[in-house]
Chain A
Amino acid sequence: MFDGYTLGELGSIFAMQGFAGLILFSIFVLMALGLAIIFGQMGVINMAHGEFMILGAYVTYFTSQFFQASLPSLFGGYFFLAMVLAFIAAGLLGMLVEWGLIRHLYKRPLDTLLATWGLSLILQQFYRSVFGAREVGVELPQWMLGSLPLTDLIEVQINGLFVMGLTLVITCVIAILLYRSSWGRQVRAVVQNRVMAGAVGINTDKIDRYTFGLGCGIAGVAGSAFTMIGSTGPTAGQLYIVDTFLVVVFGGATSLLGTIASAFTISQAQSTMEFFMSGSMAKVLTLLFVVGILMLRPQGLFTLKVRR
């Protein structure tokens, strides 16, 4: 299939493919981080993850509308504010949901699956009724569009770089929060043994609420960032949910490192295969590959060693 191309052209294509894989990797990590925290640390299967992302996307849309109408001179920077607002909005909704729904189900983790699935349907219809059934287009500031041409063939997408940078920052912040802060220590203590953690004086209710809120908030930021590359509509969250669960389950639910490793493996596999075959076939093979690995290693790539 490489007949008739010069070595230079092929080199460029491989470079661009590598870059495409890295972008996909960042996107997967960003998608999965929020879910990994909620699923991994709390054992809650949050099927409404995609809807929290879309809430972030809608917040971004309304922020852009507001800036266009009222502060056109600052439009270039609206995206940063939008991401903060998306985090706050999704996080608050997450805490509300934890308080109203999830906390009653901690002893029945499988029921959280059903409850959050119902929640996702409710949120979808809510978006549809309030924001309209049609998709909305989020306008981006000029500097975030287009690409930087490095050579004739190699071009680096600016929004790809942006997503990569964002993912790096958020991952570092989460890692520090979880593994270097006292809050993180409390979260991990609750994960390992809820009863004991309560006995040594950790307010487990509060920890749960903030953890769930944080996970949802990150989903909101991810949704905000994805307005650059995807669609914003009531059901757009569904587009991401399968890939997200794939990454988290494959990586081993309780490990942040696992999530990252799994996102890397899946994204590289998919991106490379998509280049050599049709998008549909690449997806099928990726799924087969993941299913195969999970059959051999049902706990995922990385796991915490916990005495059960």
Chain B
Amino acid sequence: MADDRKTGLESAMRRKLLMGMATIPAIALMPKFALGAGPPTAEVNTTGLAVTDDEVTVGILHSITGTMAISETGSVQAEKLAIDQINKAGGVLGRQIKFIQEDGASDWPTFAEKAKKLLVQDKCASVMGCWTSASRKAVLPVFEQYNGMLYYPTFYEGLEESKNVIYTGQEATQQIIAGLDWVVKEKGAETFYLLGSDYIWPRTSNKIARKHIENFLKLKVVGEEYFPLGHTQFNSAINKLKLRKPDVIYAIIVGGSNVAFYKQLKAAGIDLSKQVLLTISVTEDEILGIGGENIAGAFACMKYFQSLENPNNEAFVKAFKEMWGEDIVIGDVTQAAYLGPFLWKLAVEKAGSFDVDKIAEASPGIAFEGAPEGYVRIHENHHLWSKTRVGRAKTDGQYEVIYETSELVEPDPFPEGYQ
């Protein structure tokens, strides 16, 4: 019987082979590109992008020098990993992805200039890039003028939507509201003290937080305060916290200030295992600088933690460490940056084209099952549906995930009642 089956299979294969051979003359007549697996270049690229028969060029635009290099290094690494993985799996429409990397140098006009170079001179089919809102605001007109496609990885303040941008991080309401609801329900919190660095993201986020606390939860904000970027002295602020004794310290402090704040909080004897502190600005990346022992016990609310337990994430963390070293940590934004190339690939495949207009149109509704954070889907407003999670910092610099929303949270960049 076994032999019978084998001969059956063999003959079937032979038939297929013969049929295939019959088409060879036809292939020989077709232009060269048909030898690749993908459709002809003229069909998938009608706008003159850098797409050849076997290659497509994308851009990576982050700061690898200057103050922001601290944060953006992880995003670059994630994007390179994603591109590498896509290439190994056969590329996009049969084409290998080639990337051109430019350095925004933590300087917003430089970002705009480099974005223009990537779009006009290099004709990149899409660009993965930017980190701060300031850099995104600087490149946005460039992407809209030259009709490029930007995949932007950072959680940000919302209040923006563009045909030319896919926002792979969370906008403010996704990140804030679920966390506040959780802390009220689980910790019985009634009073909040809002802290932040003094620029648009913390201010907008705290505005949303305050509206949610006062108007929706009917609870009390007992203080709200901002510090210049790079502020290193928090003793007076900490004294105020001691005096006000809020149930929850809600902290959106960024950059080097973060390190000073948590070190001084610990030195002042505020014990984060008793005092609830909820932050939306400290990922595993920042803990490297702060030191796990200084922040252990704090709660963070975002969509991804390195310690998430699911097969996608385990494979992602393993691949990331293989590529970039054992000691590396992966924060929320790094994971969001990893999604960019995959979401672009899916959009290209759905549209059957590299044309930016077609990708922009095809993007809403695209679902990515393989995301380390779990299933995500692109909304009509070009943001992602995603779950929000609360993690608790441990001394080893990792978070323990203690809560996640049961459903995907809808992105709402222009939230009604919060402005």
Contacts and interface: CB of A to CB of B under 8 A. Distances in A.
A62 to B, nearest CB: 15
Interface in B227-274: 227-228, 230-233, 235-240, 242-243, 255-256, 258-260, 263-264, 266-269
A165 B144 CA distance: 58
B269 A147 contact: yes
Q: Residue among B64, B232, B293 with the most chain A CB within 10 A?
A: B232
Contacts of B238: 20
A234 B69 contact: yes
Contact of B70 (A133, A146, A230, A275): A133
B400 interface: no
A27 interface: yes
A271 B289 contact: no
Interface in A125-184: 125, 128, 133-139, 145-147, 149, 153, 155, 157-160
B288 A278 contact: no
B324 to A, nearest CB: 11
A72 interface: no
Interface stretch (A77-85, A105-113, A197-205, A235-243): A235-243
B226 interface: yes
Chain B binding surface, main DSSP class: helix
Nearest to A125: B65
Given A134-B289, A139-B291, A231 B256 contact: yes
A279 interface: yes
B45 interface: no
B325 to A, nearest CB: 10
Interface in A39-60: none
Contacts of A230: 232, 256, 259-260, 263
Given A133-B73, A137-B291, A233-B256, A274 B263 contact: no
Interface stretch (A9-17, A185-193, A255-263, A288-296): A9-17
Contacts of B228: 279-280, 283
B83 interface: no
A181 to B, nearest CB: 34
A229 interface: yes
Given A128-B69, A136-B289, A238-B230, A16 B267 contact: no
B285 interface: yes
B403 to A, nearest CB: 26
A272 B258 CA distance: 22
Interface in B208-240: 225-228, 230-233, 235-240
Given A139-B291, A236-B256, A239-B230, A158 B267 contact: yes
B290 interface: yes
Nearest to A279: B227
A123 to B, nearest CB: 13
A240 B290 contact: no
A232 interface: yes
A88 interface: no
Contacts of A158: 267
B357 interface: no
A24 interface: yes
A128 B63 CA distance: 12
B84 interface: no
Contact of B263 (A17, A23, A228): A228
A300 to B, nearest CB: 23
Interface string A262-291: 000000001110110011101100000000
Contacts of B255: 231
A183 to B, nearest CB: 33
B232 A146 contact: no
Q: How large is the interface on B (under 10, 10 to 19, 20 to 34, 35 or more residues)?
A: 35 or more
B230 A147 contact: no
Contacts of A236: 256
A134 B70 contact: yes
A279 B226 contact: yes
Interface string B67-96: 101100100000000000000000000000
B198 interface: yes
B66 interface: yes
A229 B230 CA distance: 13
A239 B293 contact: no
B269 A232 contact: no
Q: Residue among B66, B239, B286 with the most chain A CB within 10 A?
A: B239
A271 B263 contact: no
B340 to A, nearest CB: 20
Contacts of A271: 233, 235-236
Interface in A205-245: 228-236, 238-240
Contacts of A234: 69-70
Given A133-B70, A229-B264, A16 B232 contact: no
B275 to A, nearest CB: 13
Contacts of B235: 20, 23-24, 157, 160, 271
A120 to B, nearest CB: 13
Contacts of B69: 128, 133, 234
A41 B290 CA distance: 37
Nearest to B267: A157
Given A5-B243, A135-B70, A239 B289 contact: no
A23 B235 CA distance: 9
Contacts of B64: 133
Interface string A74-99: 00000000000000000000000000
Contacts of B239: 13, 16-17, 20, 275
Contacts of B292: 137
A19 to B, nearest CB: 8
Contacts of B256: 135, 230-231, 233, 235-236, 239
Contacts of A239: 230, 232, 256
Contacts of B240: 275
Contacts of A145: 266-267, 293
Contacts of A274: 233, 236-237
Contacts of B227: 278-280
10 contacts: A13-B242, A17-B236, A125-B65, A134-B288, A137-B291, A137-B397, A147-B269, A228-B267, A271-B236, A278-B225
7 nearest A-B pairs in the assembled complex, by CB-CB distance? A135-B289, A231-B259, A20-B235, A137-B291, A279-B227, A274-B236, A133-B69
Given A20-B236, A133-B69, 12 more contacts: A13-B242, A125-B65, A133-B70, A135-B70, A157-B268, A160-B267, A234-B69, A235-B256, A239-B230, A271-B236, A275-B236, A278-B225
